[in-house]
């Protein structure tokens, strides 16, 4: 690669005017991936007759189904002899670790803000991380075509956020553009003609600093991402900090613990559009993928073999929630999955640590259990869903918060800043529900047209299970998001508002008559014909206590003729819960059984006798 060089006086630094490295950051659902779609399509990297669809960068199945970005990804486009490396990042707070690990590859950032919602909790988080790395920001107010757009208000809120977070005067000197990402247009002013994304392309080239690098120094690169394919093996992805690298070159791999091992680079690949192309050489400032280093891990340094200097270790925020993953011990174990042993589950969880930098895994109290810690319920549920789709059978416990002790030995727990946007008619029920969960109101704004934004400080454990309650209370007319704020002294017990469970009394198949009797006592979760076992949760009791029911019981036959209305049983449709809803539903004495085909709720102890003994032990303690 030929880089245009401009040697600065008295320095070995070289300015790479042929390249720009920029990250796109924002709160969830503010339009990052859709904007990247437009940038890719308008850079003409695809053939004229090539149909790429929408959300091109969200290639993961779960990303498309959930409508969110889970993994940070790289792409590159050419614009007027300048290569623009674009890093698409997740917007959900649970995947903040993905943002933290890739921002150091960029020199600038595009901060996307919804023209109606304005800055949200994750907006603050990603902007703070970007400014800590001294990235040059570009603000894009997106979705200005929304009927409820508040462009002036949102811009004012954004400026206040920069004043609060900026650590240098240069951070306050940022350009502002206005965009409709879905239509692929950007403007310098909201009233300008809406043509294309050229204003954004021009602003990136003009505003994002060209990398100042040492090309002739010894090689050094941080591994910030990994990828794999069956033909070339593992890819170690990162930005070259200094020096140059060519195929078939020996390098030193320096682990996070400082251990140095000799490795050999096979291929050097550069990004172009959605693909990678082999190159003869890459130099400092390039974002590349290297093959040949089978045991590379995120956060490690690749360096010159004769001068193995390690880069600062990548610091990632600690997890706040933990769950116990275990081998499936139900009577249906081994029927529906390919991998059901503790050895297989353990190997898969520890393999996940290579790419999932926010995750922590430790062995549990028994050989069949593993404590998995993550950044939130969604972070952990995505992992569970991934394992399920890969053919694993497992059972998982209710999420628990990770506490810590201060210097005086006092217990502390994580607290989050919760932001809710909804109709003002739901204010009363939300206030009541959040008060029980130890939430404290910090701010409330009303736009005058029936929409309100309420902000709370709430312990993380108070948020467990709240998302489903929130959707029910607001009838789906609301949005909520939260961000870890810090740790505070333990705020006391939070009482569970859930009723008791309907628990199956025997192994068999659910029948209409048995379910009809169960529905007289509460709501059911299964349909007739569903296989059940003793201890499986089949519904929600109308009373606080658990109730054992026989849903396999059939109506006794007699020689007395009955009318059709007498023998027919009309059932209420069952409540079918998703994985996230199941995790929110269970109590501490319950588990979620996850297999490739089914998600079941069960008691930790399956028989009535075992449950009675467990309660006795708790009372004795």
Q: Binning pLDDT at 50, 70 and 90, where does residue 2 land?
A: very low
Is residue 239 a contact partner of residue 39, using CB atoms and an 8 Å limit?
Answer: no
Mean pLDDT of the chain: 84
Judged against a pLDDT cut of 90, whether residue 395 lies above it is answered with: yes
CB 502 within 8 A of CB 540: yes
CB 586, CB 592: distance < 8 Å: yes
- pLDDT at position 341 is 92
Which band of pLDDT confidence, cut at 50, 70 and 90, is reported for residue 328? very high
pTM for the structure as a whole: 0.80
Weakest mean pLDDT among 6-15, 23-32, 374-383: 6-15
Burial string for 446-472 (b: 16+ CB within 10 Å, else e) reads: eeeeebbbbbbbbbbbbbbbbbbbbee
Under DSSP, is residue 2 helix (H, G, I), strand (E, B) or coil?
coil
553 is in an annotated binding site: no
- Kindly report the backbone phi and psi dihedral angles of residue 279, in degrees, each rounded to the nearest multiple of 5, phi listed first: -130, 160
Q: What is the DSSP letter of 164?
A: H
CA-CA distance, 510 to 270, in Å (whole number)? 57
Q: Is 311 a residue whose pLDDT tops 50? A: yes
What was the pLDDT predicted at 327? 94
The pLDDT assigned to 555 comes to: 75
Regarding predicted confidence, which is higher, 95 or 251? 251
Cα-trace Rg, the chain = 28
Locus of tokens 């009372």: 619
pLDDT confidence of 524, banded at 50, 70, 90? Answer: very high
- Residue 56 to residue 42: CA distance in whole angstroms: 13
Does position 231 have pLDDT exceeding 60, yes or no?
yes
Mean pLDDT of 81-89: 87
Structure tokens at 76: 């590159």
Q: Which region, left, alpha or beta, applies to residue 448 given φ > 0 means left and ψ of -120 to 50 means alpha? A: left
Q: What pLDDT, in 10s, does the model give residues 183-210?
A: 888 999 988 888 888 999 899 999 999 9
| Residues 91, 552: Cα–Cα separation, whole Å | 46
pLDDT value at 494 more than 70? yes
Do 279 and 268 meet the contact criterion of CB atoms below 8 Å apart?
yes
Residue 409, pLDDT above cutoff 90: no
Instruction: Give Dmax over CA atoms of the chain in angstroms.
Output: 106
The residues, any chain, with a CB within 8 Å of residue 48's CB and separated by 6 or more, are none
* 460 labeled part of a ligand binding site: no
pLDDT at 396: 94
Domains, the chain, with CATH or none = 18-209 (3.40.50.300), 220-304 (2.40.30.10), 404-489 (3.30.70.240)
Q: Are strands 225-229 and 250-254 parallel, antiparallel or unpaired?
A: unpaired
Mean pLDDT value of segment 379-402? 91
CA 605 to chain centre: 32
H helical segments located in 437-495: 460-463, 466-473
pLDDT at 53: 47
Nearest alpha carbon to residue 392 among 204, 101, 599:
599
442 with 457: CB under 8 angstroms? yes
Do the annotations mark residue 207 as ligand-binding? no
Give the residue among 528, 522, 540 at the shortest CA–CA distance from 570. 528
What are the tens digits of pLDDT across the range 146-170? 888 889 989 999 999 999 888 888 8
What is the Cα–Cα distance from 426 to 480, expressed in whole angstroms? 13
366 has binding-site annotation: no
Judge whether 403 and 124 are in contact, CB under 8 Å. Answer: no
Report the pLDDT value the prediction gives residue 557, as an integer from 0 to 100: 64
Within 13 Å of residue 382, how many CA atoms lie on the same side as its CB? Answer: 25
Q: Is 237 annotated as a binding residue?
A: no
The predicted pLDDT at position 250 comes to 92
As a whole number of angstroms, the distance between CA 407 and CA 497 comes to 34
**For residue 93, is pLDDT > 80?**
no
pLDDT tens per residue, range 579-616: 888 988 888 889 999 999 999 999 999 888 888 888 88
Q: How far, in Å, CA of 243 to CA of 214, rounded?
A: 6
Question: In this predicted structure, what is the pLDDT of residue 5?
Answer: 39
Instruction: Please tell me the least confidently modeled range out of 6-15, 17-26, 362-371, 412-421.
Output: 6-15
Dihedrals phi, psi of 10, to nearest 5 degrees: 70, 20
Element (H, E) at 290: strand 287-291
**Model pLDDT, residue 357:** 78
The pLDDT value recorded for residue 324 is 94
Distance CA 357, CA 580 (A): 22
The reply to whether 34 sits in an annotated binding site is yes
Is residue 142 a known part of a binding site?
A: yes
Lowest-pLDDT range of 56-65, 100-109, 250-259: 56-65
Q: What is the DSSP letter of 217?
A: S
Q: Answer yes or no: is pLDDT of 68 > 70.
A: no
Backbone angles phi, psi at 307, to 5 degrees: -140, 70
Q: Distance between terminal CA atoms of the chain?
A: 70
pLDDT over 70, % of the chain: 89
41 is in an annotated binding site: no
Question: Is residue 144 a known part of a binding site?
Answer: yes
Phi and psi angles of residue 362, each rounded to the nearest 5 degrees, phi first: -135, 155
Q: Give the Cα separation of 132 and 419 in Å (integer).
A: 24
Give exposure, 243-261, as e/b (b: 16+ Cβ within 10 Å): bbbebebebbbbbeeeeee
Cα 103 from Cα 90, distance rounded (Å): 12
Residue 472 known to bind ligand: no
The stretch 78-96 carries a mean pLDDT of 79
Please tell me the predicted confidence (pLDDT) of residue 579: 87
pLDDT of residue 63: 52
| The pLDDT of residue 569 | 67
């Amino acid at each position: 690669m030929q880089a245009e060089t401009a040697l600065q006086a008295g320095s070995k630094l070289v300015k790479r005017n042929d390249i720009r490295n920029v990250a796109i950051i924002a709160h969830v659902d503010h339009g990052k991936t859709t904007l990247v779609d437009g940038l890719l399509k308008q850079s003409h990297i695809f053939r004229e007759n090539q149909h790429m669809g929408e959300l091109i960068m969200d290639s993961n199945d779960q990303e498309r189904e959930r409508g969110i970005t889970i993994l940070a990804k790289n792409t590159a486009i050419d614009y007027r002899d300048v290569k623009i490396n674009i890093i698409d990042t997740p917007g959900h707070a649970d995947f903040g670790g993905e943002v933290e690990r890739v921002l150091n590859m960029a020199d600038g950032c595009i901060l996307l803000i919804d023209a109606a919602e304005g800055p949200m909790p994750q907006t603050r988080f990603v902007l703070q991380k970007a400014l800590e790395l001294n990235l040059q920001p570009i603000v894009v107010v997106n979705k200005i075509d929304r009927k409820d757009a508040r462009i002036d208000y949102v811009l004012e809120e954004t400026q206040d956020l920069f004043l609060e977070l900026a650590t240098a005067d240069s951070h306050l000197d940022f350009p502002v553009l206005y965009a409709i990402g879905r239509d692929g247009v950007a403007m310098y002013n909201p009233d300008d003609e809406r043509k294309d994304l050229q204003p954004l392309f021009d602003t990136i080239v003009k505003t994002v600093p060209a990398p100042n690098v040492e090309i002739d120094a010894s090689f050094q690169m941080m591994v910030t991402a990994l990828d794999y394919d069956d033909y070339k093996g593992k890819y170690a992805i990162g930005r070259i900090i200094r020096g140059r690298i060519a195929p078939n070159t020996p390098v030193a791999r320096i682990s996070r613990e400082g251990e140095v091992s000799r490795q050999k680079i096979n291929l050097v690949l550069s990004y172009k559009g959605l693909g990678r192309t082999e190159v003869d050489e890459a130099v400092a400032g390039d974002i590349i993928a290297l093959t040949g280093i089978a045991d590379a891990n995120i956060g490690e340094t690749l360096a010159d073999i004769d001068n193995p200097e390690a880069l600062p270790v990548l610091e990632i925020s600690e997890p706040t929630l933990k769950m116990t993953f275990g081998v499936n011990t139900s009577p249906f174990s081994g029927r529906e999955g390919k991998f059901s042993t503790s050895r297989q589950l353990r190997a898969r969880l520890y393999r996940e640590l290579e790419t999932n930098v926010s995750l922590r895994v430790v062995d549990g109290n028994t050989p069949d259990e593993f404590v998995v810690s993550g950044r939130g319920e969604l972070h952990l549920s995505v992992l569970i869903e991934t394992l399920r789709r890969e053919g694993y059978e497992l059972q998982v416990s209710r999420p628990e918060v990770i506490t810590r002790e201060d210097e005086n030995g006092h217990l502390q727990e994580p607290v989050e800043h919760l932001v809710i946007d909804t109709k003002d008619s739901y204010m009363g029920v939300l206030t009541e529900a959040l008060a029980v969960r130890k939430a404290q109101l910090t701010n409330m704004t009303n736009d005058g047209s029936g929409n309100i934004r309420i902000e709370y400080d709430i312990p993380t454990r108070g948020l467990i299970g709240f998302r489903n309650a929130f959707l029910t209370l607001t009838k789906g007319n609301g949005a909520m998001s939260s961000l870890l704020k810090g740790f505070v002294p333990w705020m006391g017990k939070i009482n569970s508002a859930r009723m008791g469970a309907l628990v199956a009394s025997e192994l068999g198949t659910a029948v209409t008559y048995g379910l009809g009797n169960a529905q007289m006592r509460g709501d059911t979760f299964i349909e007739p014909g569903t296989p059940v076992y003793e201890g499986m949760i089949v519904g929600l009791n109308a009373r606080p206590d658990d109730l054992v029911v026989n849903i396999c019981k059939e109506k006794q036959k007699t020689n007395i003729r009955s009318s059709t209305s007498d023998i027919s049983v009309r059932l209420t449709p069952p409540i079918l819960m998703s994985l996230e809803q199941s995790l929110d539903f269970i109590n501490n004495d319950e588990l979620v059984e996850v297999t490739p085909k089914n998600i079941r709720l069960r008691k930790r102890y399956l028989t009535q006798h075992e449950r009675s003994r467990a309660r006795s032990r708790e009372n004795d303690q």
